[in-house]
Amino acid sequence: MFIKLLSYLGDNEQQIPVWININSISSIRSYEHGSSLTKVTYNINQSILVIAKPKAIIEKINKHRYDKL
């Protein structure tokens, strides 16, 4: 199962959508206190900055895992 997130490349750069396998995610942490950026670590040691709060990402993962009709 994959979730779609928007990567952060810089203030004046366009955000690029990325698809990440939720089973490969090992860490979801705030990048800076009060920031809307989150550092997602996946595939053991790869990480990406995304534009989302950690809570929103966790809710998205839980929805994919548990909301099966």
pLDDT by residue for the chain (69 residues), tens only, comes to 899 999 998 888 888 999 999 999 999 999 988 888 999 999 989 999 999 999 999 999 998 888 865
Strand order from edge to edge, sheet including 16-21: 16-21, 2-7, 46-51, 37-42, 25-30
What pLDDT is recorded for position 13? 81
What pLDDT is recorded for position 66? 84
Handedness of CA 28, 56, 58, 55 (dihedral sign): positive
Look at residues 27, 26, 35 and name the one whose alpha carbon lies nearest to residue 8: 35
What pLDDT is recorded for position 14? 81
